[in-house]
Structure 1
């Protein structure tokens, strides 16, 4: 086997492990990931799974990275070409709602679930979850600030407060979809976001 083929095979195996891990962690939490379970489900040895990551914590961090890539593909990339400011902020909110409505992750928002699981635990995984939220909040706040500066939102608008409220609305949507299976939840969320972003 050529070195090039060997590297490709290793990357393919790692990708398969991460894909299955994201699905499990979305529904059962990052702590639900065990090397033994992944080995059984993927038809691998435990050492074969572990060899790609080195530790369960490293696997969890890699899963967070993969989930972040999926979120970026689903929510940020479709709207990156939108005009900065209010137009992009509205588009981001719609893509965010759609991501939950379509059940991109079987357990709802991957990062809300991870935050609930790790917000009370110190360590690298908690830090990585917090960093993801910080990055997302900063992106939304930047667009809100641009909208205020352009006069598309009232000058009295506090971008940090606005983003706090938008985060709350979407977390409520996630809760309504996952716990209550509310078929009108996405419509309610869209109505709430539209009302909050009226100029």
Structure 2
């Protein structure tokens, strides 16, 4: 078999995998990971059950691949654009703005993929929960790290011991805006959350100018 034929098959397989995972991330954001089965995905994606089974092998493998794909989108949408800003308060403000926009713009049909799937599997031990937990823990840790950098740089006057508390409040505002918008169909929640984030950071010593991304 020629290398050209092999490369062509690999390219088609990669394209099919990307197409299936794109549909899977949207489906899981609405119905949760428990509802993400090979059969159900076949019904809604236009791909055959056998082709999906060939690509992923099992429901758990499909779930894990879907989480990884959603995490790539999360990073590309929220985290990577913020890395053009210096560590600390300026990057923190852009991260929170991007987080709100990611939910408001419905990058995934059901809003934040990880908020939806965390509620679905948070009490069900296993590799799938571990993958979601790792993604969430890394996000929480990254926000807390930016708060600590801001304190060390003098951009916030808060006690370093309060960094985790401040990060917790910022993430909680982001997640509640996502949940409230989905439940009530009211995007004003994002503006409320942005104002509350600004107030919290100003109370911690931030200058309003550095919080311009949250306006």
> Which range, TM-score by smaller chain?
over 0.9
Deviations, residues 82-130 of structure 1 (Å, cap 9, x unaligned)? 0110111111111111111111111111001111001111111111111
Task: Show the counterpart of 1:54.
Answer: 57
Calculate the TM-score normalised by the size of structure 1: 0.95
Match of 1:186 among 186, 190, 215: 190
Calculate the TM-score normalised by the size of structure 2: 0.88
Match of 1:23 among 22, 26, 41: 26
The answer as to whether partners of 1:64 and 1:129 remain within 8 angstroms in 2 is yes
C-alpha deviation, 1:33, in angstroms: 1.6
CA root-mean-square deviation: 1.3
Task: Show the counterpart of 2:125.
Answer: 122
Match of 2:157 among 154, 157, 161: 154
* 4+ residue segments displaced more than 6 Å: none
C-alpha deviation, 1:16, in angstroms: 1.0
Number of residue pairs matched by the alignment: 199
C-alpha deviation, 1:41, in angstroms: 3.4
- Kindly tell me: are residues 92 and 44 of structure 1, through their superposed partners in 2, closer, same or farther at Cα, counting changes over 3 Å? closer
Unmatched tracts of structure 1, length 5 or more: none
The answer as to whether partners of 2:33 and 2:121 remain within 8 angstroms in 1 is no
Unmatched tracts of structure 2, length 5 or more: 206-215
